[in-house]
Amino acid sequence: MKLLVVLTFGLLLASLGFLVLQNQQTAQQLQSALSYQTQLQQLSEDNARQRLRFEAQIEALNQQLLSSSVQLTNLSNTLQETRLQIDPDYEKLLQQARTEVAQQQTMRQGDSNRGSAFASYSDPSNAKALAMNNMPRLYDSYLNALGIPGTERQLVMDAIVDFAALHYQRWRP
């Protein structure tokens, strides 16, 4: 009988030890879960703040896009009016002036390599070719997003190309 009591007591002690060990492991798991929950909550709050910042930036970019769209429309209208008012002899005189300026710059710079890479920009045909190459790639998706119809879209793109060509011709390093 004593042996049975000792065995029962030993079994109870072993069971108690096992339960204490299980309780400690469960407490550690609970602590880890609470730590993960805290981290998750912090990340969620950080993401919410970041989303609000992004939304504010998007709103600012939308305002800039709207402003740019209005400016582009105004520029297109002005360019169209200017095209109607340009005298054909003016273009010829402008070409002659550009050629003279390019020759004078070439003579001043001599063999210097610094300006030679940019000298071709003063040539209207080079500037126009460069603008025709670069501008559609830069503004094509922008014009698509605006939803401008085909003929008006072409007019806007022509205006952008002409503006860029003039800009390239006037640009000096």
pLDDT in tens, 95-136: 777 777 777 766 655 544 444 555 566 677 788 888 888 888
Determine the pLDDT at residue 76: 81
Lowest mean pLDDT among 60-74, 97-111, 146-160: 97-111
- And the tokens for 55? 């939304």
Domain limits, the chain = 87-173
Task: Check whether 158 has a pLDDT greater than 80.
Answer: yes
